[in-house]
Amino acid sequence: MTRALAIAALLALTTAALAQEHHHPDKIITGATGAFYESWMRPDMPSQSCCNRSDCDAVSEIKRIGNRWQARRKSDGKWLTIPPEKVEEGRDSPDGQSHLCSVGTIVYCFIVGTGG
C-alpha cells in the first residue's frame, strides 16, 4: 500500500511539473511563461485553450494600425492581423513581452506586453 501511494505521489508531481512546460520543436518553455501558456484560455471561447503545446510564443514585433493590432510571428517573420476578439485583456503577460498563439494565419490568442 505504501509503495502504491509513493508511486501515485510521484505521478502527481510529474504531471504538475509537466503542466509548467510548453514544448516547441527546438525548445521547452518553462517557468511563469510555460505556466501562462498552459493556462491561457481563448478570450472569445473561454472554455478552450489557446495553446496546443507548440503554437504559442513571444512575438518579435507589434504595431497598431487603426483599431487593430498586428504582430510579427517569430517562427517565420509573418505579420498577422489580430482580430479584436482574440486579444487577452484580463491579465498581464508573464514576462512583459507580447505573445501570440496561432497556426498558419489563424490567431487563437494575443496579449500585448508592457514592454511592447
C-alpha cell, 47: 472554455
Query: Are the C-beta atoms of residues 107 and 100 closer than 8 Å to each other?
Result: yes
| Residue 96: burial class (beta carbons within 10 Å; 0-12, 13-18, 19+) | exposed
Q: What is the C-alpha to C-alpha distance for residues 24 and 51, in angstroms, rounded to an integer?
A: 11
The reported pLDDT for the residue numbered 53 is 67
Please list the rounded mean pLDDT of every run of 10 residues in the chain (116 residues): 45 39 61 86 93 83 95 93 94 91 94 82
Query: Are the C-beta atoms of residues 37 and 57 closer than 8 Å to each other?
Result: no
Structure pTM?
A: 0.75
